Structure 1
């Protein structure tokens, strides 16, 4: 029986081993072959998915098992595969690195097993020969139930070097080596202290990636990769109860979308669109007119890099304040919180006036203030959650927000059964809610009903 689709997970031995670069090359290559490609990323990362989307032209999806129940995540994956020939899934960190020390909790390995996808292990070939087999063997033996179906070797010096590595791995590990990735100029992704530069900030020159894909066509056995990743069995999933198909009818949601604000999960926007909402986009940086709307969403991004321009756009700040005062239901995440605060102090120490809707001040630091998964329980009615409801999400920010109004959520980071941190966060002022927490709406679709109800109640 012919396979109905292909899917594989590109995993690494650790962070920084080249997963994203190789994933982008494979996406470009598969697209060049005429395949409908669905890029995915294990975990909550916005930056890698932005690059996936820019290179292959299809919105990359986050597969996050901390925020999403297994059944829901599987249902989302199955829906995307209805329109794809192949899923190229980039792993997170090292293959067995998850949340805490349990390799089956929020790890790349756990996701591969959940989806029933084979793992292609990317191993660094620099300055090593036969010892590479020990590395591969260790990953194989750590979890014998995991299907490590093939190996790709990164940073190989020559064909002779590659043959030495290939023979060692295939002799001692009995797993096929599918080829190698030599060094190539022009395909490194730009970085800064916050991680990768977003794809939105860079003009994507497709030619280097097309050249990279053409090179991979020569150094990788793509036909073998496709054969190993062939399948006709999708994981079993089921949607949770969703808002009614007309729950958002007659309402307009304005989404901030520009160089300063662009961190959104495509699944979240799709879920909102399914309610019948009219969705429009606007730029807090460049537009002087806020769309006529009853709901506003200010996502994450890098407002600190554009603080001067945001502050100079006084007309937009005034229109946001007016929208807040008339009860428009405004939701802001991370960068959106910083924009809605009273002021923002950038990394140079310059302070810029912001919207002053959530009283408080943001200040950029030189180290991560908070990073990773956490839970947030509402201590009062908020735009997304009623008292006592718990939202799961993640925080990643170098800024700190000093509020002038009480927080409305009790947050905590629990790892390996122990509470590592506990803090208060999230602020509700009128019909506006903002926090540092990034969330996936599919974990609790009722939060959309709360948001829509708040918008209608203000009419």
Structure 2
């Protein structure tokens, strides 16, 4: 019997079918009903989770099957659902799209089976009628072990059109159509060539989303959605080996957090705090001084869009250089690497001086330099990994970094059992380590003990 909780993955037929917009509408509608919602995202994406968080006020969590062992992922999901009435999991790409052509690896479908939650399939209703039933039927039959509990039809502008689609889906597929999403322009999320504009840069217009929630309350059967997605039990998971609760006691982490740097997994920050680390946020764009700290984290973001302001804030650049000289343990991911480099050339051709801690030059390109999952094996001891240890992570960047120092990580990308590429990455200079690789610390939380040990030398 269900204990009153519901959870589902909102999956689509492909990227760009409206998953994020519909997820946000459902989150808003459910909160207005007094439900305690917990948003999630399949995969490593930071942008969608930021919009979830901005709308709901609840930190959205990433469920990443490449970086996290199944037991750890189950544990994290279970933990977040303890205080929730409804878990809304936004899928990634199309329902069966994962890493390579294996639909049971890193896909929304695979995660739904692992967690024991049903799928709500989002399909595009524009310019189609009975043929939509064939699309739904194909998704149902592709994996009979997967439970698709219902269908939501996007981009439908009249009830009469929806009724035609509903009759076809229910007659030929035998699963309920839960309603439709009218085509609306006033809730479209802003985009750029790198993906969605971040929630930090474009404050979410809450009244607009309340209006959207009003609309979908009229066109979706939310009561039926909740009853079809009731959770009988939560998946069983196991906590990985963790640092001691006082492992980071007495340490302060300065966390870069502004429009230029804001890509952080909430689980990572929670792991640091649970180990006793005190986190103080600061802005490399606007602040003149660092917080008093022994650890510094410069996360991903869009430093190239703020290169002039970052370069002009010489007081902050000097403060970071001084922190490095006194042994503060500095970790930088992607955008943070670009900031720690010597210079940054933006898309408009201007070159800006940066911190100069990792000798090298970053330059923006017009296409993705590297994208996707990869593994990085330490060739020497680094801030987060001992020599020989392998970390799993995700890269997504239009810039390229030309170093003037030796790399410390051997990186490789494999897919479907074949190695696609090898390259050198990750640079350690003194107490600073920087890489393009985004990491989820829960893959091996004990890696944090190396960071803590390095930080204590700055006390």
Map 1:93-132 onto structure 2 (within 5 A).
93-132=93-132
Match of 2:262 in 1: 262
In 2, the alpha carbon distance for the partners of 1:2 and 1:182 equals 32
SS in 1 for 2:227: helix
In 2, the alpha carbon distance for the partners of 1:222 and 1:245 equals 42
In 2, the alpha carbon distance for the partners of 1:143 and 1:420 equals 28
In 2, the alpha carbon distance for the partners of 1:279 and 1:209 equals 32
SS in 2 for 1:109: helix
Match of 2:215 in 1: 215
Q: How far is the alpha carbon of 1:4 from its aligned partner?
A: 3.4
1:225-259 deviations in whole A, cap 9, x for unaligned?
Answer: 00011113000000111000000111101100000
Q: How far is the alpha carbon of 1:315 from its aligned partner?
A: 0.3
Match of 1:170 in 2: 170
Match of 2:391 in 1: 391
In 2, the alpha carbon distance for the partners of 1:183 and 1:172 equals 25
Match of 1:85 in 2: 85
SS in 2 for 1:442: helix
In 2, the alpha carbon distance for the partners of 1:227 and 1:74 equals 23
In 2, the alpha carbon distance for the partners of 1:372 and 1:2 equals 37
Q: How far is the alpha carbon of 1:203 from its aligned partner?
A: 2.0
1:152-192 deviations in whole A, cap 9, x for unaligned?
Answer: 00011311110110000000000000000011231000001
In 2, the alpha carbon distance for the partners of 1:273 and 1:360 equals 33
Map 1:17-416 onto structure 2 (within 5 A).
17-416=17-416
Query: Which consecutive residues of structure 1, in runs of 5 or more, have no partner in the other structure?
Result: none
Q: For the Cα contact (< 8 Å) 2:327–2:458, is it kept in 1?
A: yes
Query: Which consecutive residues of structure 2, in runs of 5 or more, have no partner in the other structure?
Result: none
In 2, the alpha carbon distance for the partners of 1:57 and 1:455 equals 32
In 1, the alpha carbon distance for the partners of 2:235 and 2:247 equals 29
Q: How far is the alpha carbon of 1:2 from its aligned partner?
A: 4.7
1:118-165 deviations in whole A, cap 9, x for unaligned?
Answer: 100000001100000100000000000000000000011311110110
In 1, the alpha carbon distance for the partners of 2:325 and 2:404 equals 18
SS in 2 for 1:413: strand
Structure 1 segments, 4+ long, off by >6 Å, are none
In 1, the alpha carbon distance for the partners of 2:145 and 2:239 equals 28
TM-score by length of 1: 0.99
Q: How far is the alpha carbon of 1:289 from its aligned partner?
A: 1.0
Match of 2:417 in 1: 417
1:31-67 deviations in whole A, cap 9, x for unaligned?
Answer: 1111110000000000000000011110100000000
Number of matched residues?
459
1:359-401 deviations in whole A, cap 9, x for unaligned?
Answer: 0000000000000000000000000000000000000000000
In 1, the alpha carbon distance for the partners of 2:196 and 2:2 equals 39
Q: How far is the alpha carbon of 1:457 from its aligned partner?
A: 2.8
TM-score by length of 2: 0.99
In 2, the alpha carbon distance for the partners of 1:265 and 1:323 equals 24
SS in 1 for 2:235: coil
Q: How far is the alpha carbon of 1:409 from its aligned partner?
A: 0.1
1:91-124 deviations in whole A, cap 9, x for unaligned?
Answer: 0000000000000000000010111001000000
Q: For the Cα contact (< 8 Å) 2:257–2:283, is it kept in 1?
A: yes
In 1, the alpha carbon distance for the partners of 2:139 and 2:388 equals 42
Q: For the Cα contact (< 8 Å) 2:69–2:443, is it kept in 1?
A: yes
SS in 2 for 1:258: coil
Match of 1:12 in 2: 12
Q: For the Cα contact (< 8 Å) 2:2–2:233, is it kept in 1?
A: no
CA RMSD of aligned residues (A): 0.7
SS in 2 for 1:24: helix
SS in 2 for 1:21: helix
Using the TM superposition, name which of 335-344 and 223-232 deviates more: 223-232
In 1, the alpha carbon distance for the partners of 2:308 and 2:242 equals 40
In 2, the alpha carbon distance for the partners of 1:124 and 1:3 equals 33
In 2, the alpha carbon distance for the partners of 1:172 and 1:39 equals 32
